[in-house]
A = this chain, B = another copy of it.
Amino acid sequence: MTAKKIHKQKAYGEVGYALEEQVGFVLRRAHQRATSVFQRLMGEWDITPLQFAALVKIRDEGRVSQNQLGRLAYMDPATVMGVVGRLRTRGLIRVLADANDKRRTLLMLNSSGLELLEQLEPVALKVSEQTLDPLSKEEQKTLIELLRRFDVTAE
């Protein structure tokens, strides 16, 4: 019914600017899909992608300062503030002052954080799986590799 209207979109070879061929647009779409799958599978634990990423990074490091965590998980300082605050409120991490550098706040998982993370990791693998479902195994590998190339540029 409404499908007819859709065809008014600029088609592939058309002259003008085709929004759905621009990287930013399709990346946004793909990212929406990924977070949607994440919410569906992780919803029952009430955790967000960023909160999960933070837990993983904190555990991998043992102990990190907030800024360090931000660099590892690609969050800017303001965003880290929020994420860390919520993890702290939920009692998943321990926050302590760095004796060697009074500017720093050190973060580490406490036992409930570690326990939760261990429950979550297998689910996170399912999230990746389901997100990538429309692609063949070969294509999945290609996609991840191409996306990771955006990283090298450091910037």
Per-position binary interface string of chain A over residues 48-86, scored 1 when its CB falls under 8 Å from any chain B CB and 0 otherwise: 010001001100110000001001111000000000000
- Please count how many residues in chain A sit with their CB below 8 Å of the partner chain's CB atoms: 62
Task: Report the nearest B residue to A27, measured CB to CB.
Answer: B31
- The reply to whether A128 and B23 contact each other, CB–CB distance below 8 Å, is yes
> Does A13 touch B at the CB level, under 8 Å?
no
- The reply to whether A143 and B134 contact each other, CB–CB distance below 8 Å, is no
> Does A115 touch B at the CB level, under 8 Å?
no
A interface SS class: helix
> Does A101 touch B at the CB level, under 8 Å?
no
Given contacts A23-B132, A135-B146, A150-B134, contact A124 B35 (CB under 8 A): no
A24 to B73, CA, bound (A): 12
Of residues 26 through 62 on chain A, the ones whose CB sits less than 8 Å from some CB of chain B are 26-38, 49, 53, 56-57, 60-61
- The reply to whether A142 and B146 contact each other, CB–CB distance below 8 Å, is yes
What are 5 sample pairs from A and B whose C-beta atoms fall under 8 A apart? A8-B60, A25-B53, A29-B150, A29-B151, A135-B146
